Structure 1
Amino acid sequence: MNFYKLIKLNHSIKNHRLKFLGIYLLHITKRRYLAVHFDPINACNLRCKMCYFTDKNYVKNLKGIFPENEIDYLGKSFFKRAIKLQIGCGTEPTLYKNVNEIIKTASKYKVPYISLTTNANLLTKETVKEWVVNGLSEITVSLHGVTKESYESMMTKGDFDKFINALKIITELKKTHPVVLRINYTFNEDNFEELASFYTVFNDYDIDILQIRPITKLGDTEYNNFSLEKVIPLYDNINKILIDESTKRNVKLLSHNPSQLNNRVSIDSVINKYIYCYISPTSLFRKDFKWNNDTYDSYAKRTLLKKDILKDMCSSKAELMKHTSDKLNYEIN
């Protein structure tokens, strides 16, 4: 399944009523439309300066490991309705002992697209191959610096050489297995300009997708410069360099319209409440979901979710925009 074609199609539909109608029809016909985001462990091996793992007060309460014996229940409850499973969202999934069981369970419930996001410092050839053989569709690697110096400065405890080795492992594996390699680059005023040399540094690696996205406030983080004033004058030029170089290499570039950088609200963030499903050892979809009793379908029936979808479909755009959140729509180049 080409998940990114679906995203592009969604972005091309400007009428919010059509989007809600699509969700409603998928919902009542029991088709897949959920994007399940799953953090199996509340831990990370790095302390990236832009991440909430450098917020001491936040980390005090960020503990827990998802019980392995409940992975199949997760599959029955949510994977059956998932169009995508994202393993690793705000924590490091490779610290979880049985990532492979999550992937196998998602494959068992025929999730069309299974992705894993990682800082890549703990990846090995054996584990990556095992995941891909069992159904992993995509490996997304987080990156906050193009050079060794900026990488290890922004990604405290990170090892640039281990990162490069992980790219080598995945590139070699891609010769025999159909896995997508995606790089997610979070930029700020101190690491944006070096994106111009991204493909010079990473020319030897078989990258399929590059996403560049601006810093967002994730708490009382060590790095706390959220201004993009120095970025905006450079953005068009560097984005064009990336578009041109990505096109040459047949890489999908996911980037943002410059006008959105300081105005991030989007009506899609309202629609997202019906699609986005986050689960972790301490967070469960919605507060009124009854773990070990509900499935997504039984919960939707009990709470009359389809009526909420219809209500939003009939609401004006102006009314819906009152309930938007900070969410950027990226363009697929």
Structure 2
Amino acid sequence: MFNNIKLKISNLKNKQTYSKDKSFIFPEKQSMHYDAVNMDINNTCNQRCRFCFSYFDKNKVYMDVETFEKIIQILPLVRDYQGGGYGLYISCVFEPTVNPQFIEILSKIPKEGKNKCFFTTNLVRAMDEEYIKAIINSNIALLNISIESLIPETFHYLTQTKGFDKYKSNLQLLEKVVNEKEGYIPSIRFISMLLKENKDELMDIIDFCFKHFPSEAHEVRTPMIRPMYDNEWNLNQLLSKEEAKEMVDKLNNYPGHIDMNIQSIEDIKESDLKVIPQEKSCEVEKDHYDIAKEKISIVQDYEYLFLRIEPNGTCIDKLTNVPEEIPLDKTEEYFIKKLEHLYKNKAQAVICNNFDDINNIVEGNPNIFIDKFVDNDIFFEVTGWCCPDRDIISDKLILELYGNKGDKHYYYCSIKERTDVDEFYNEEQGWSVGFTSYFEKSKLKDDEYVLSLLFRNSLNQNIKYEYENILKIK
């Protein structure tokens, strides 16, 4: 299959034909969504956990109920909670229960929140049974609970508070309320830091949580090590590689669902601890592919479609990273326009306006497969993979769209590893390359388009692979 690719040089200026004897593929309609929104309803906490990376401003700010009611109108635009960072966080970095209006705020979450909203709590605030019931009866999808120790002395040392008795009481109340509740309850998930201070009791902690609560999962992770932070305490709490492996083996053998993100001290590199300045004298001249990759990396960043909403009613997106005041009298319109702007910028980041290499194209045998072709209000997205000749430079890829009435466009692609197909094609002595690109709808003039991939090879030629079907967009 891969040895019979016959290449021929052609001047495609006079050979741009549009063939009708192909099958049509139609896009799947998808809604536009923010992947995640972190809505901090306050900027403080009732603990000072030694492993925490947050700084607490002396100027405490609490979002009020009226502001929350306006901002929660973003909910239909947020992707459902699926784990892995999706959904709407009712605070995550700070402790939401310290907001004096927390229970009233929860009561304002509409039913749709059962698919989207969650929050994380240290469960140390003074609570009675009615308070716990209000949490369980609210429209949230998930309740995250931090649990680092069930030993009072260890708890007090790690959290730098004397709140263990309140914590234990709240756990008991929560267990009672959950077991007595009929009908819907939020999913419950516990989160534990793996530290030298608690490693010997960690399995007992996990046992306790699964035996006393209908836990969806227990997450175990090590402290974050970040550049420009004081990481000394966290580094001293990391286990050795051998100790970490022993713990991972125990967790893997545990019958309950355990999620792990565990690093040993040996896993931490010097680059994780400090920002290394770039030497300008070593700068390499960038070509247009390099510039395109930088633009694409921004719009395909894990948190690109992610908003942070501060308790003072300002909003920060990952495109500008600049706080912007939310117009509370027009919140729905504001969030729709911001979402459209992010999607449009995503589409514009891949446009290749200066492709002038039309006379240097080599035709290759087509081996393109498309497994996602979707349509939203701003762009079409296509994702797939192909089996090009091994002579190509895989990260120098341009996608061509050629319309049935002559409309033609070129786009850069993001290159993705396709481990799901790599193994099979490696056995066949082939090669697979995954790709994704976007086509802004307002720029497309025709009804149907032929898609081709143009790879650069070692001879600086563009090898063209044409998809066997036609994209039907209108």
TM-score, normalised with respect to structure 2: 0.51
Report the CA distance shift for 1:194/1:275 in structure 2 as closer, same or farther (over 3 A).
Answer: farther
- C-alpha deviations, 1:146-174, integer Å up to 9, x for none? 43221111011142232222222222222
Amino acid corresponding to residue 274 of structure 1 in structure 2: Y
Where does residue 291 of structure 1 map in the other structure? 326
Please point out which of 75, 79, 86 is paired with 1:79.
75
**Structure 2 CA distance, aligned partners of 1:94 and 1:168?**
18
Map 1:40-119 → 2, pairs under 5 A:
40-52=41-53, 58-60=55-57, 63-76=60-73, 78-82=74-78, 83=80, 84-110=87-113, 112-119=115-122
Report the CA distance shift for 1:133/1:236 in structure 2 as closer, same or farther (over 3 A).
Answer: same
Residue pair 1:38, 1:280 contacting (<8 A) in 2 also: yes
Report the CA distance shift for 1:40/1:288 in structure 2 as closer, same or farther (over 3 A).
Answer: closer
Unmatched segments (≥5 aa) in structure 1: 1-24, 319-333
Map 1:1-333 → 2, pairs under 5 A:
29-52=30-53, 58-60=55-57, 63-76=60-73, 78-82=74-78, 83=80, 84-110=87-113, 112-122=115-125, 123-175=127-179, 176=181, 177-199=184-206, 202=209, 204-206=211-213, 207-217=215-225, 224-226=233-235, 230-245=239-254, 247=255, 251-256=256-261, 262=268, 270-281=300-311, 284-286=315-317, 287=322, 289-292=324-327, 293=330, 295-301=334-340, 303=341, 305-308=343-346, 311=349, 314-316=413-415
Report the CA distance shift for 1:165/1:304 in structure 2 as closer, same or farther (over 3 A).
Answer: closer
Report the CA distance shift for 1:229/1:257 in structure 2 as closer, same or farther (over 3 A).
Answer: closer
Post-superposition offset of 1:110: 4.6
Residue pair 1:193, 1:234 contacting (<8 A) in 2 also: no
Deviates more, 1:286-295 or 1:120-129: 286-295
Report the CA distance shift for 1:233/1:129 in structure 2 as closer, same or farther (over 3 A).
Answer: same
Where does residue 397 of structure 2 map in the other structure? none
SS class of match (2:339): helix
Post-superposition offset of 1:300: 2.6
- C-alpha deviations, 1:242-292, integer Å up to 9, x for none? 3333x2xxx321103669954799x99953223432212255232265511
Post-superposition offset of 1:209: 1.8
Post-superposition offset of 1:85: 2.1
Where does residue 7 of structure 1 map in the other structure? none
Report the CA distance shift for 1:180/1:158 in structure 2 as closer, same or farther (over 3 A).
Answer: farther
Post-superposition offset of 1:102: 3.4
Where does residue 325 of structure 1 map in the other structure? none
Superposition RMSD in Å = 3.6
Residue pair 2:308, 2:315 contacting (<8 A) in 1 also: yes
Unmatched segments (≥5 aa) in structure 2: 1-26, 81-86, 273-296, 351-382, 384-412, 418-474
Post-superposition offset of 1:71: 1.4
Residue pair 1:189, 1:231 contacting (<8 A) in 2 also: no
SS class of match (2:108): helix
Post-superposition offset of 1:108: 4.8
Greater strand fraction, Structure 1 or Structure 2 = 2
In the alignment of these two chains, the number of paired residues is 282
Report the CA distance shift for 1:133/1:168 in structure 2 as closer, same or farther (over 3 A).
Answer: same
- C-alpha deviations, 1:70-115, integer Å up to 9, x for none? 1122122x21212222222111111112223433333255551321
Residue pair 1:279, 1:285 contacting (<8 A) in 2 also: yes
Amino acid corresponding to residue 245 of structure 2 in structure 1: D
Residue pair 1:115, 1:136 contacting (<8 A) in 2 also: yes
Report the CA distance shift for 1:200/1:68 in structure 2 as closer, same or farther (over 3 A).
Answer: closer
Report the CA distance shift for 1:159/1:149 in structure 2 as closer, same or farther (over 3 A).
Answer: same
Greater helix fraction, Structure 1 or Structure 2 = 1
Report the CA distance shift for 1:61/1:261 in structure 2 as closer, same or farther (over 3 A).
Answer: farther
